[in-house]
Amino acid sequence: MNNHEHRSRRAFFQRLLRSDDDGVAIITVTLVGVAVAGIVAVLAINTVRNYRESREERQVGEVLLLAEAGLDEAIFELNQDNTYSTVGAMPGALDAAGEEAWVRSQAAGMATIPGENGEYVIIKPEGSDVVYSVAYTPAREVPSAQVQVLKADLYLEPPTPGSPYLPSRGFSSAGNLTIGNSGSAGVYGTAGGVHANGILSQGGSATVLGCATAYGPNDFAASNPPGCGPATGYFEPIPEVEPLLFHSLSMFDLCVEGGVGVVRAGPAHSDPAKQGANGLPCSGEKVGSPGDVGWQLKPAGWSYQGGAGVFFVNGGQVGIDRDSGTGVNGATIITAASNEATLTCNTATRVGNVADGDIEIAGGVQLTPHPSAGDLALVAGRDIRARGNANVWGALLAREQIGLGGTPGANNALIGSSPCHTPGSPIARNEFSGDASITYNGGLSIPNYGVLNPVWNVSIDRWSEL
């Protein structure tokens, strides 16, 4: 083989080898592309699946949070009003499936409450210790909506006593206050002082020892000692006088049943087995007649005859013309209005609609609080009026007004908590008439006055998913 033939054959084999390499490369590239496409497809499927599962998990979490929000709102409402309910009584003898079906059917016909990423419905059956929350994500009308039903068993505990209220002045008025018309009238003592969230008037030459402040005009402004702060334009919150706030102190509830006076055990009665429920006057066992505890029911109302203890008069008028004695023989008298549940006060017209609940104190009467009630002497569902030289030691609280016509005692703190006046009631404004005066040397403590809402505390004992 000559050199020319040898070179030609070698060139042929080189071309053949290059052709084989190109084919292998094409096949390799094709196979790699198929593999990559498969991987991408698998990844895409997994991504879609993961996204769907993630979205479903998120919706499940969101609907659970919504349902829990419904339970939280229900507990808030129940702690404002223990009678709160959204539906009637639940049928009895339901199994688990029937219970859930009933709850869902009730929720389907009720307006939803909007929440974050969805909405919910609260189902609180009347008269039950259970509440339900039905949540929907994203909305109830969406066919594919996630639905969650939660059930909470409620735990109820009696209201805890409030912090004692420590009066800082002799008289606090939520409305106007007029003090005396003689030189001996006024408010005296080491902690003397007055405040009115209305007008503070000096009837004549009356005196106020300590600071005299008011939101409106103040006739005592010029005589204020140093350090009193603004004499006018000053508003001081005054806790409302609500007789039910003090019901837990009651040893005896005085009730009218069938036109006859009846005494029932109050929440503080000495026999726990007979005690009534706090906040529910006249719910305890009958423990005698009014005469047994030093009271009498007359056509004009209740008459205090010198009994010892803490008394809650469940509606009506109270007249006091007997002494109470001292120490364990002392008496604390709390009088509720007949319309405690429906009374109103129009702050624009300053007209109230309180029905009775007044306390009238005759001249010369000596009254000392019962030790179990701290320094609380009298609580009136409407007005307190004291005549002559009645001697009352302790705190006198009236929902509306207090009127004094004498010198009621050696150490008094008076509170008239409402700016409203009910037409026909004994007193039209807080006032000291004639030479009436009080003395406040401080140190008085009023139990339970710190309680703003005397209802049972409601919390979730346990909850579960239906």
Q: Residue 396: which of 420, 413, 374, 375 has the closest Cα?
A: 413
Integer Cα distance of 102 and 105 in angstroms: 5
Q: Where are the beta strands (DSSP E) in 8-145?
A: 113-115, 118-123, 130-137
429 shares a domain with 462: no
* pLDDT (average), residues 126-139: 91
364 shares a domain with 388: yes
Domain assignment present for 449: no
Domain assignment present for 462: yes
Place of tokens 């996204």: 51
pLDDT score, position 48:
47
Q: Would you say residue 35 has pLDDT above 70?
A: no
Tokens of 150: 């939660």
CB 388 within 8 A of CB 405: yes
Place of tokens 């008011």: 214
CB 166 within 8 A of CB 172: no
Residue type, 311: F
Domain assignment present for 360: yes
Domain assignment present for 445: no
pLDDT digits (tens, 9 = 90+) for 184-196: 889 999 888 999 9
Confidence grade of residue 108 (pLDDT, cut at 50, 70, 90): very high
Domain assignment present for 273: yes
278 shares a domain with 240: yes
Q: Would you say residue 380 has pLDDT above 70?
A: yes
CB 201 within 8 A of CB 220: no
pLDDT score, position 86:
94
pLDDT score, position 341:
87
**DSSP output for 270-293:** S-TTTPPPTT-TT-S-EEE-GGGG
Q: Would you say residue 11 has pLDDT above 80?
A: no
CA angle (10 as vertex; 5, 11 as ends), nearest 5:
100
354 shares a domain with 206: yes
Domain assignment present for 12: yes
pLDDT digits (tens, 9 = 90+) for 456-466: 677 787 778 88
Q: Residue 411: which of 393, 391, 435 has the closest Cα?
A: 393
pLDDT score, position 453:
45
Domain assignment present for 444: no
CB 334 within 8 A of CB 402: no
313 shares a domain with 217: yes
316 shares a domain with 179: yes
The kind and range of the H/E element at 261 are strand 260-265
Integer Cα distance of 392 and 371 in angstroms: 14
At 132, is the secondary structure helix, strand, or coil? strand
Q: Would you say residue 262 has pLDDT above 90?
A: yes
461 shares a domain with 337: no
Place of tokens 């969101």: 62
Tokens of 198: 């209305």
pLDDT score, position 21:
54
175 shares a domain with 146: no
> What residues have CB less than 8 Å from 184, skipping those under 6 apart?
435, 437
433 shares a domain with 352: yes
- Residue 233 CA: distances (Å) to CA of 214, 230, 398: 6, 7, 24
192 shares a domain with 75: no
Half-sphere exposure for 103 (CA within 13 Å, toward CB): 27
* pLDDT (average), residues 431-436: 88
Confidence grade of residue 51 (pLDDT, cut at 50, 70, 90): very low
Q: Residue 85: which of 120, 132, 152, 135 has the closest Cα?
A: 132
pLDDT score, position 19:
52
pLDDT score, position 198:
94
- Residue 156 CA: distances (Å) to CA of 14, 132, 266, 269: 97, 16, 20, 22
Residue-range definition of the domain harbouring residue 49: 1-159+455-466
How many domains does the chain fold into? Answer: 2
Tokens of 3: 């050199």
The kind and range of the H/E element at 295 are strand 295-298
Integer Cα distance of 271 and 264 in angstroms: 11
pLDDT score, position 253:
98
Q: Residue 337: which of 399, 290, 278 has the closest Cα?
A: 399
Tokens of 62: 């969101």
Confidence grade of residue 162 (pLDDT, cut at 50, 70, 90): low
423 shares a domain with 328: yes
200 shares a domain with 155: no
Q: Would you say residue 158 has pLDDT above 90?
A: no
Question: Facing residues of 394 across strands?
Answer: 412
Confidence grade of residue 409 (pLDDT, cut at 50, 70, 90): low
Lowest-confidence range among 200-214, 369-383, 405-419? 405-419
Place of tokens 């007055």: 194
Domain assignment present for 383: yes
Residue type, 18: R
Q: Would you say residue 161 has pLDDT above 60?
A: no
* pLDDT (average), residues 89-115: 91
Confidence grade of residue 10 (pLDDT, cut at 50, 70, 90): low
Integer Cα distance of 421 and 352 in angstroms: 5
Average pLDDT, the chain: 85
pLDDT digits (tens, 9 = 90+) for 309-350: 999 999 999 999 999 999 999 999 999 999 998 998 887 899
Confidence grade of residue 435 (pLDDT, cut at 50, 70, 90): confident
